[in-house]
Structure 1
Amino acid sequence: MSPHCQLLVTAACHLCHDAEAVLMPFVEHGLLVEVVDIMTLEEGPEQYSLRIPVLRHIESRRELNWPFTCEQIAAFLMQS
């Protein structure tokens, strides 16, 4: 099964760890999230270095910037 979302992060980012914790209840209920280091993306460092962590819906390419709450994630997923 393919992931639904990507969580764009960098190594040693404490906010990224916080975002993973907020996402965990969704993952436990079946949301598939691929964690992607922005350094591996062609546009990553330039586009995301000041915005991470970012939750990106794979199909719609919509993005939710940090900080986000469980309620905001739920609304984001319903719109995607």
Structure 2
Amino acid sequence: MEPILVTLYTRTRCPLCDKAKNSLMELKETWNFALEEIDIEESDELTERYGLMIPVVHIDGEEVGFGYVDKFDISNRLQEKSES
């Protein structure tokens, strides 16, 4: 079974992004997933799409959270993915 892919769209000097990454790292202790971190400032398209929303979290390509990322909510989504 392929590991779940969690993508964190972020940028430098973003306290909410740091907090989201810390939450995801804590969740990695419980859940088996690959974490991909993408800096939106490296792409005009991503900056346009997510500039006001970051951090943005996707699980297997599906947007599951942005702005203030709720660790409990992400954990629930990981649970759902692991059961499907």
- The DSSP-based 3-state class of the residue aligned with 1:52 is coil
Are 1:56 and 1:62, in contact at CA under 8 Å, matched by a contact in 2? yes
TM-score normalised by the chain length of structure 2:
0.75
Number of matched pairs: 78
Q: Look at both structures and tell me which one has the larger radius of gyration over its CA atoms.
A: 2
TM-score normalised by the chain length of structure 1:
0.78
User: Which 5+ residue runs of structure 1 have no aligned equivalent?
Assistant: none
Q: Give the distance between the partners of 2:72 and 2:4, measured in 1 at CA.
A: 20
Shift of residue 3, structure 1, vs aligned partner:
6.2
Write the mapping of 1:1-80 to structure 2, written as runs, cut at 5 A. Answer: 4-29=5-30, 30-41=32-43, 43-58=45-60, 61-63=61-63, 64-80=65-81
Q: Give the distance between the partners of 1:13 and 1:32, measured in 2 at CA.
A: 22
Aligned-residue RMSD, C-alpha: 2.1
- Structure with the higher fraction of residues in strand conformation: 2
